[in-house]
Chain A
Amino acid sequence: MEVNLLDKICVLDAKTVTKKEFEQTLGMSREEYLKEMRRFVEEQQRVKAAAESK
């Protein structure tokens, strides 16, 4: 197992971004953002599954 000090600090930096800051930057709520990401991932997974079933 490896110590990834620099990576861990990167993730902690990301965690300091507040919900308000994130939403203001995106111009959408957290819920809308996650909905968009969910739609994207599900679509990609459907495409992948269809390609694999051929």
Chain B
Amino acid sequence: MTNEKHEQMRQNDVPLEKILDAMELSGKWVVKRLKGNPTSGPFSELVLTEKAAVFFPKVAYMKWASGAWKWKQGLDLPTQFIRIIRSEMSHRLRDWRERNESEVTPMNNELVDRELEQALADELEMEEEMKDLGYANILEYVSAYPNLVVYVNLVRETNSYRTISKKLRIKMAEVKKLEAEVIKIVRTNRAK
């Protein structure tokens, strides 16, 4: 079976409740990323005609269901939706900037903050830069744990559980434990 056919089958098999869960979680991600509901700028209700957290999950669903977005192996549906939304946002941001370049003032420029720009950078041909920022951030949090520093650097080099397991000479389950440890440390630090 080709990947395309397999993917189509997978889409048809997803129950509605799981799709709704993915829409809700990706909507929450939009709220988090935009720090609420922008009243102006490319992601405002005025421009989108709906609140961003309502609008973007619908776009994600449409693109996913149409098969326009290639499924990345190992991703669950909410993550897939977030990736589609991140891409959609970056394109809208770029278009909005091109249209408004002559009208950008310090005030409306602040509407799209630095953090958002960094998150969107990957789709604007700066994927590596975005990854660098992401991993640098993670490495900072785990710097007190040499084994986790080695692990994070390996993840950056290769995304394969199997390769990491071989290189560290540990079982796959132990690789997953390291992953869980890193995520826990990042979460704890971000919550501070």
Contacts and interface: CB of A to CB of B under 8 A. Distances in A.
Contacts, number: 120
Given A3-B159, A4-B75, A14 B183 contact: no
A14 B54 contact: no
B79 A11 contact: yes
A25 B75 CA distance: 28
Interface of B: 16, 19-20, 23-29, 31-32, 36-37, 51, 53-54, 57-58, 61-62, 65, 72-76, 78-79, 82-83, 131, 134-135, 138, 152, 155, 159-162, 164, 175, 179, 182-183, 186-187, 190-191
Interface string A1-34: 1111111111111111100011001110010011
Contacts of A26: 27, 31, 37, 51, 53-54
B61 A9 contact: no
A40 B75 contact: no
B54 A13 contact: no
Given A22-B27, A33-B24, A4 B159 contact: yes
A13 B190 contact: yes
B27 A33 contact: yes
Contact of A22 (B16, B31, B73, B183): B31
Nearest to A21: B31
B39 to A, nearest CB: 12
Contacts of B26: 14
A27 B159 contact: no
A15 B28 contact: yes
Contacts of A9: 134, 138, 183, 186-187
